[in-house]
Amino acid sequence: MTKPNYSGTYHMVEQENVDAYLTGLDVNVALRKIVCMLKPTKEIIHDPETGAVKINTITTFKNFSMDFNIGKEFTEDLRIVDGRTCQTTVDWDGDKLVCVQRGEKEGRGWTHWLEGDKLHLEMRVQGVAAKQVFKKAE
């Protein structure tokens, strides 16, 4: 079965429960307020043949880049987000990309999936889930 190609540029169109998610990561209140006002753009370069993925999250405040190979564990530097590093693995669950981030916080990770021209992102930590939806640029 062929896996979807996530490549593209996506602009955020909605989000929910992000403040609670950031609270679960111990992000201070001032930074949480800023982050909740941002409307990030995601630029994804995905090579389905090799499993290489690069996700650039671009905002007017800070940018974040994540490079990985699907199915291979790596050390992820999340100091820009919450001052931590963790052992991260991103793998397929059907057509979804599921990330497990092992470190100080239990149940940390995210899931990306495509529905038409929308990229969905669910972020999880310690039983709290937040959701963002991005629309593919034309």
86: CATH: 2.40.128.20
Question: Would 2 be classed as within a structural domain?
Answer: no
In a domain? residue 39: yes
In-domain check, residue 1:
no
Residue pLDDT tens, the chain, 138 long: 688 999 999 999 999 999 999 999 999 999 899 999 999 999 999 999 999 999 999 999 889 899 999 999 999 888 777 778 899 999 999 999 999 999 888 999 999 999 999 999 999 999 999 999 999 998
Q: How many domains would you assign to the chain?
A: 1
Which of helix, strand or coil describes residue 120? strand
Query: Per the domain annotation, does 86 fall within a domain?
Result: yes
Residue 20 falls inside a structural domain: yes
Sign of CA dihedral 93, 63, 81, 103: positive
| pTM assigned to the model | 0.92
Instruction: Establish if 35 belongs to a structural domain.
Output: yes
| Strand ranges inside 1-127, DSSP E | 8-16, 41-47, 52-58, 64-69, 74-78, 84-93, 96-102, 109-115, 118-125
3 within some domain: no
Tell me, yes or no, whether 53 lies in a domain. yes
Query: What is the structure's pLDDT at 79?
Result: 74
pLDDT at 40 (0 to 100): 95
Q: Cα(45)–Cα(55) distance, rounded to whole angstroms?
A: 7
pLDDT at 1: 60
Range(s) of the domain holding residue 84: 8-136
Pairing of strands 41-47, 52-58: antiparallel
